[in-house]
Structure formats: C-alpha cells, structure tokens
Structure 1
Amino acid sequence: MQIVSLSKDISLKRSVEMGNAEQLNTVRLVLADVKNRGDNAIKEYSEKWDHVTLHNFRISKAEIESAKDKFDPQLKRDLEEAAHNIRVFHEKQKRLSYEVDVKNGSFIGQRVNPLDSVGLYVPGGSAAYPSSLLMNVIPAQVAGVERIVIVSPPNDQGALPDAVLVAASILGIEEIYKIGGAQAIAALAYGTESIESVDKITGPGNVFVALAKREVFGVVAIDMIAGPSEIAIIADETAYADEVAADLLSQAEHDPMACPILLTTSDFFAHEVAHEVEKQLITLPREKIARAAVEKFGKIYVAETIDGIIEAVNKLAPEHLEIIANNSHDIAQKIRHAGAIFIGRYSSEPIGDYFAGTNHVLPTNSTARFSSPLSVDDFIKKTSVIYYTKETWLEHAPKIARLARMEGLEGHARAVESRGWTKEMDQS
C-alpha cells in the first residue's frame, strides 16, 4: 500500500462509482422494456445476462424445503442467532405515534405506520449473501411491513443459493423471485403479470442495480445508492500490524473499487502494515479483486497528531471506521461522521457485517455526513394529524387569516373565514 503524509485533500470520492453513459443508457432501456413488456422482457434479459431460461420466476416451497434439507445445521443455528441479534437491536428503533394536547380538546399529532410493501434486493449469481437478506428483511418486519418481497439473481442452473433460501425461511419470507439486475428493479417498481409492484426498494447490488434504483426513485422510494465498500482504520503502535492488514483486506476483497485506508501517527507502524498487506494478499483467495482495490484506492496516511486524523476522518465520513489505539473510546466520541464505528482490537469490521446486530447497509462515498445506516425508520412513514375544536378555531382563525394575506394567499384566508369566525366572535 502507498504510504503518504496526511493532507487536506484526503477523499473517498470515486468519480466512476455511479457508472458511465453507456451503462445508464442500458439501464433506461431495460426499465422501459420491462415496464412495457413485463414478464417476457424479464425472461429475455435472464437468458441474455444470467444465461438461464426461466419458466417461473417465483421460488417454490419445494425449493425452500430442499435447501433446508441440504443445509449445514450448525450454519443454520449461526444464522438464527445472527437474526436474533439483529432483531433485538432493531426493536429499539421502533417509533410510536403521539398526540400533543393544544387546549379546549384540540390536539396535533403524528401517526407512524409501516409501508404496505417493500422489495429487497439480495446480490447473488455466483455468490451467496444471506447476511444481506437478514439486514434488509428484519428491520422491515420490526416496522410491521406486511408484504416483503425478495429478488435475487439466479446461478446458471436457475437456482438461488441454499443459504439465501434458508435465511428467508428462518424469517418466514416466501415471496422470492429469482431475477436480478436492472430488470428486477423494474419489476418491483412497475409490476409485471406475475410480480406485483412495491412501495419501496432496498438492498445493494452492482452498478446496474444502483443506476436502476436511482432511475425509478419517485415511482417508488429507495433506501440509498450504495457504492463500493470503504474502511478507514485509526491505529497506533499499540495495534498489531497483521490484524490491521487483515481488516483492510476484509473490505478490499469486496470489489476492485473498494477503498481501504489506514491513518496513523507512526511511520514505523505504517511500513509494518504495508508489508503485512502484501504478505497476506498473496494467500487471499480473492487476491485479484483485493489487489486492484489496494493498488488503486488503498492508502496509508501518516499524520503528525491524532487530532489531525480525527479531523480527516470527519471529512472522509467513511462507511466503516475502526479505532485500534490508546484511548479508543475517547477518539470515538470525537467522530461525528461515519456509517459505523468499531472500537478496540476485538471489534473487527466483519463482526458488524454478520453478527453483532447493527445493520451493515451503510452510507458510502462520504454520504455518512448526512445519511444513516438502514433502519426501521426506512420502512415506516409518518402522517401528521390535526384536530381543532370550535373554541380553538375561534381563537386562532383571525391570526391564520392575517398570516395568509401577508403571503398573498387570499384563498387560504377565505378558507378559514368561511367557517364564519366573524359571526361567531360577534355572538360570543
């Protein structure tokens, strides 16, 4: 990894993250085609890109039972425990409706209701990501969403990974479709002959999925435009170089566009970690992917002071931040912008990815400055409620009419006055 002095131009921005003009044009054509031709278009795109002929998009109960029969019992127990941890964490995020008494029996308030339906995209194809399914489904269930739909690209045999189907079974999800890419986003947004549309789409995917989600926003809601993974690690000479290197590579192996960076005040430690990264890369099964990320976006920044590092991290607003240093908790208190913060030697980033219970769907590309992890809030909507009694209306109607006329909105003023407040005041 390249070792450089910490400078003010430090950035996580990757300009190609959201694709190019050709990719965007492809996505727009797919969306329009699925909107117009429905299932037939999806079948053609599945043959073209997933190399599979699908006669039925929906996963059958028999396929789910078969996956459960073949699945390792210990792994199933691990998934169940992870699901429990995620549910416990997200239960704390539930919001309640409320009312505020005004006076004279009047009140204002807010009602919190779950969305009716959501579609959750689970990446797939040659890989299995049951953890992504858990992270998206559980907060939706805690919110009270009644219809939860899963879409995921199949392998060349037209099947989804057993792990994904078992995870869905653990959560009681049965509406699962083996379609992926932009065509899956189109089906969720517009609906087809066999797939009913949803109100919101969440979940990560490749660049075509991200572009498709951005294009259908407004037709449906989306969670975020998630880009390639990022990890920033604050570490000092008390950390172990081999452990820090392993943590950097845990994110580098995701994607050639992933961004692994280390920030330290020790030049000696910086060189130790750089050596360890190279040593570990050689034996990493996904070496090609991780090496591309390390060489293109990986950096080790050496700073003069820890305060300089804290300032830089708050500018970066990384998706994942590990702090392995003296006074880790004190440093964490000074971090304002990060998707998730992992404190101490034993809080390696994969703990959050799989098991701790916090959500691993996090804002990337410095959007943690204004965005939050996926949560129960993403699966609810709020409705304002206003109830004025005659007495409260009588007291405030003249004020409201005056304010309306101040803004030049005579119709607003007349709407209030149409209740006859002048007459009512004369009689009082």
Structure 2
Amino acid sequence: MTVAPSSELTLERLTDLEQAGARLEAIAQRTESGQSREAAGRVDAILAQVQREGDAALLELTERFDGVRPDPLRVPAEQLKAAWEATPADLQAALKLAHRRIVEFHQRQKPADLAITGVHGERLGRRWRPVERAGLYVPGGRASYPSTVLMNAVPATVAGVQRLVMVTPPGPDGRVNQTVLAAAHLAGVTEIYRVGGAQAIAALAYGTESIPRVDVISGPGNLYVTLAKKAVYGRVAIDSLAGPSEVLVIADHTAVAEHVAADLLAQAEHDPLAAAILLTTSAELAEAVPAALAAQLEGHPRAEITRQALNDWGLIVVCPDLLSAARLSDRFAPEHLELQVERPEPLADTIQNAGAIFLGAWTPEAVGDYLAGPNHTLPTSGTARFAGALSVETFLRHTSLIQFNRQALEATGQAVTTLADSEGLHSHAESVRRRLV
C-alpha cells in the first residue's frame, strides 16, 4: 500500500458494511505477503546455521543484524540486581504493583487435577505438570518491554517451571535495557542471554553450548521471530504466532473523541503494521476522531511510525447500530477490543471473537498492557477465532491416568474386542481376551 506523505493523515472511512467487512479481512491478513515468503527463506538459513554452529552462529548473526558482538552471551547475574537498584523508586513501585496484580490473576488460572471413579471401580484421571524449561523471548528494537518480561515470566513461574531462559536483543551499546533487567530481577529470572531475532528462537529450540534447549517458547517478536517460532513448532511448543498489534474500538454517542483517538494511537505507535480501527454508531464521533488524531500527533515522539500505521491500517466505519458493529468486530476477531459505549456489558455478551475486551470509558487498553492482571500476550491477525491469551496452561502439560480392575475389564472387554476387530487390529483384541479367559 502506498504510504501518504509523513505530514498527512488520511484515515480511511466507510459506511457500507460489506465494504467494511472486506477491508477488515484485508487488514487481518496484512502480514501475508511476498515479503513474508521471502523472509521465511532467510529464517530457514538462520535456523540451519545456529543448529550447525551453535554459539559461534549466535555471535556472528548478532553482530551482523544488531551491530554488536555479545561475548559473553549471558548477562552477568550481578547486572540484574544492579539494574533493580538503579531503577527510580516510582518505576520500582509501578513494576511491583504490576507484578503483584499479574501474579494474583494467574494464580487463579491453575487447573486442578481430575480424579474419577467409574461405575465398575475403574479409576480415571488427568494430572497437570509443568514443563522443565521455558524460553522467554522479550523483543527489543524500536522499544523496550519490561511489561513483556512480567507477562511471560509470571505464568511460567506460577505453573512451576524450574528453569526460565530469557533471550532479548542487545542495544547498540551491547547491553540489555536496564528496566528489562530490573523487571527480570523482580520476576525471578536469573538466566538471560543477549541475543534476539530468529537466531534466538533457534538457540532455544535446538540448544547451543551456552543456551539450553527448552520445552516451550513464549513471547512476541517481529516477523522473523514469528516465522522462526512457526518453523520450530513440533520440536518445541510455542505460545502463539503473534502478529503486529491491533485495537478495535466500538463507540457510541457517549464516547469522547479525544479518548478514542488516544487509544487508537496507543496501538498505532507500536509498529508501522499495527492496526487501529473504530466502529461507531455516531457520525459526529466519526467526524471528530480524525481531527483529534491529528492534534495528538503534533509533537508525538513516534509520529512517523504512528502516522504510517494509521494511513495504511487505520479504518473508521459508521454503523447503523451496535449489533452491526459487534458482527463486524467478530469478523475481524481483534486482539484488543474496546467497548466505549453507554452499556458495555450487554454488548460484550454478544461478542464471540476477541483476545481481550475492555469494557467502558474508564478502561483504556493500556491498563491491560501493564497491570490489570490478565496476560497481554494475545491472539492477533484473526486468530482470536480459535486462540486465547498466554496463560499458566501454556507452561503445563497434562497426562491421562487410567486404572482398570478385573470387574471393569470384564464389564467393558467385549466392547473393546468388538471395536478392535472392526479395525482389523488382532492383537488389540487379544490383549483383552487373554486377560478374561
């Protein structure tokens, strides 16, 4: 798509619902391009190099892509404590508040083991156990994300994972962002490596001389990170294939244009591929929001990125009613859905597809990013149709438990042998018959 001049804001506006639906589907598929296919080839080469050369590949690739050679790869333990102690008191307090709320919410997610006694005395169950090692990817590049440290480390810790291995790209000076290290210290992460991109995912999936192979990889990243996670899935588990961030706001006549604009900008400032969408029943609001966006972009520190995202992937749709807006929203299945309407609860009940729903005028999406409690790692690009947020269960696996006694086998054995015979599996049937002679 052609980008408008950097000083101009040209947000697309529609009233036809069919056109709007088609446009929303196109926005959801915005990363499916020839560029992605080309990047996949480069990712495959990176994965193969790391698998073949180990640490040497990590050093060479990080120097090539990030301009620094992180030798040693591991962040010294004393830097974590020093980073926390150097963090301003107000930021420490904010991190502690966020950490406490995220822990409290995720502790309530832990699934219970299941134990059932059947009618014939058979015992059936399911038990949950944590994976042994989890790899946490924390992105860098355009911004640093201590919130991502907390949102990945907390559910893994609550699940009971014994070894957390964090990877994150180094900055131009070769160091990891101080607040990222401070958040890791607070969350109890002690093993951190200065490597990012597809090479970091390869290290976590295959293992190198320094970085252990893990069982689960979580955390968002750029296109190369996402493609690498997709490529190694099956060798390790992954949380999701996170795409660029997105917000969809449903608003009525009660919404404040300046608030809506601020929330749209809060997503657009992430990335040039971020999507910011407004569905509204108010023609007046649809007229006012573009002006509010332009006003708030004046002097914005990330104005170029934000304006490009709005011009390419921003959309305003005027809908005849809130039910029409809800149906369009479900068609898009947004990562973040804000309901800035007079009565948000009944509207939320009609929504089927969303990563997280933010109800009411006093719930900007930013509270979910940082400290509301639920995880901010959410399905993107339409995957909220079948996926949910990162959770404690991401770091758990469940095992079925089955124990029959003679009475139970006698009561069900004929059915087992009949089914086995129907599939032509002789020994399956025999394994039951020989016990019942």
TM-score bracket relative to the smaller structure:
over 0.9
Per-residue deviation, residues 352-374 of structure 1 (Å, max 9, x unmatched): 00011111000001110110011
Separation of aligned partners in 2, 1:334 and 1:157 = 50
Which residue identity does 2:145 align to in structure 1? Y
**SS state of the match for residue 288, structure 2?**
helix
Gaps of 5+ in 1: 424-428
Whether 1:14 and 2:24 are equivalent positions in the alignment is no
Which residue identity does 2:13 align to in structure 1? I
Q: Which residue of 1 aligns with 2:47?
A: 31
CA, structure 1 residues 233+126, in 2 after alignment: closer, same or farther (shift >3 Å)? closer
Q: Choose from 313, 335, 342 the match for 1:326.
A: 342
Whether 1:306 and 2:328 are equivalent positions in the alignment is no
Task: Answer whether contact 2:129 2:396 (CA < 8 A) is retained.
Answer: yes
Per-residue deviation, residues 152-197 of structure 1 (Å, max 9, x unmatched): 0001221101101111111111011111011100100000011110
**SS state of the match for residue 17, structure 2?**
coil
Deviation at 1:104, TM superposition (A): 4.7
Separation of aligned partners in 1, 2:102 and 2:162 = 19
Separation of aligned partners in 1, 2:16 and 2:248 = 13
Per-residue deviation, residues 368-397 of structure 1 (Å, max 9, x unmatched): 011001111111011001000122112221
Whether 1:394 and 2:413 are equivalent positions in the alignment is no
Deviation at 1:17, TM superposition (A): 4.7
Separation of aligned partners in 2, 1:302 and 1:296 = 19
Q: Which residue of 1 aligns with 2:14?
A: 4
Q: Which residue of 1 aligns with 2:5?
A: none
Q: Which residue of 1 aligns with 2:225?
A: 209
Which residue identity does 2:324 align to in structure 1? G
Per-residue deviation, residues 287-339 of structure 1 (Å, max 9, x unmatched): 11110110011010001122111111111110001111121111111111100
Separation of aligned partners in 1, 2:249 and 2:399 = 41
Task: Answer whether contact 1:237 1:266 (CA < 8 A) is retained.
Answer: yes
Q: Which residue of 2 aligns with 1:426?
A: none
Separation of aligned partners in 2, 1:169 and 1:54 = 20
Which residue identity does 1:414 align to in structure 2? E
Deviation at 1:6, TM superposition (A): 4.2
Separation of aligned partners in 1, 2:416 and 2:77 = 59
**SS state of the match for residue 28, structure 2?**
coil
Separation of aligned partners in 2, 1:230 and 1:379 = 25
Whether 1:139 and 2:149 are equivalent positions in the alignment is no
Separation of aligned partners in 1, 2:336 and 2:65 = 32
Summarize the alignment of residues 362-377 of structure 1 with structure 2, pairs less than 5 Å apart. 362-377=378-393
Task: Answer whether contact 1:38 1:191 (CA < 8 A) is retained.
Answer: yes
Identical positions, percent:
43
Q: Choose from 103, 120, 144 the match for 1:87.
A: 103
For structure 1, which segment, 159-168 or 95-104, has the greater mean C-alpha deviation from structure 2 after superposition?
Answer: 95-104
Whether 1:414 and 2:424 are equivalent positions in the alignment is no
**SS state of the match for residue 157, structure 1?**
coil
Which residue identity does 2:343 align to in structure 1? N
**SS state of the match for residue 53, structure 1?**
coil
Deviation at 1:252, TM superposition (A): 0.4
Separation of aligned partners in 1, 2:378 and 2:60 = 33
RMSD of equivalent CA atoms: 1.3
Q: Choose from 353, 359, 362 the match for 1:337.
A: 353
Whether 1:100 and 2:110 are equivalent positions in the alignment is no
Deviation at 1:282, TM superposition (A): 2.2
Whether 1:172 and 2:182 are equivalent positions in the alignment is no
Q: Choose from 34, 38, 42 the match for 2:58.
A: 42
Q: Choose from 264, 269, 281 the match for 2:280.
A: 264
Q: Which residue of 1 aligns with 2:175?
A: 159
Per-residue deviation, residues 233-277 of structure 1 (Å, max 9, x unmatched): 011121110110010000000011111010011212101011111
Whether 1:226 and 2:239 are equivalent positions in the alignment is no
Please, what TM-score do these two structures have when normalized by structure 2?
Answer: 0.94
Q: Which residue of 1 aligns with 2:364?
A: 348
**SS state of the match for residue 20, structure 1?**
helix
For structure 1, which segment, 67-76 or 370-379, has the greater mean C-alpha deviation from structure 2 after superposition?
Answer: 67-76
CA, structure 1 residues 340+201, in 2 after alignment: closer, same or farther (shift >3 Å)? same
Q: Which residue of 2 aligns with 1:113?
A: 129
Task: Answer whether contact 2:105 2:373 (CA < 8 A) is retained.
Answer: yes
Separation of aligned partners in 2, 1:175 and 1:379 = 18
Whether 1:127 and 2:127 are equivalent positions in the alignment is no
How many residues align? The count is 421
Q: Which residue of 1 aligns with 2:8?
A: none
Whether 1:274 and 2:290 are equivalent positions in the alignment is yes
Whether 1:240 and 2:256 are equivalent positions in the alignment is yes
Separation of aligned partners in 2, 1:6 and 1:357 = 38
Whether 1:53 and 2:69 are equivalent positions in the alignment is yes
Per-residue deviation, residues 9-29 of structure 1 (Å, max 9, x unmatched): 232423435752321111101
Deviation at 1:2, TM superposition (A): 2.0
Q: Which residue of 2 aligns with 1:197?
A: 213
CA, structure 1 residues 125+15, in 2 after alignment: closer, same or farther (shift >3 Å)? closer
Task: Answer whether contact 2:279 2:318 (CA < 8 A) is retained.
Answer: yes
Task: Answer whether contact 1:264 1:303 (CA < 8 A) is retained.
Answer: yes
Task: Answer whether contact 2:70 2:195 (CA < 8 A) is retained.
Answer: no
**SS state of the match for residue 350, structure 1?**
helix
Task: Answer whether contact 2:36 2:223 (CA < 8 A) is retained.
Answer: no
Separation of aligned partners in 1, 2:299 and 2:32 = 28
Task: Answer whether contact 2:138 2:168 (CA < 8 A) is retained.
Answer: yes
Q: Which residue of 2 aligns with 1:250?
A: 266
Separation of aligned partners in 2, 1:181 and 1:45 = 9
Q: Which runs of 4+ in 1 moved over 3 A?
A: none
Separation of aligned partners in 2, 1:52 and 1:306 = 52
Task: Answer whether contact 1:404 1:413 (CA < 8 A) is retained.
Answer: yes
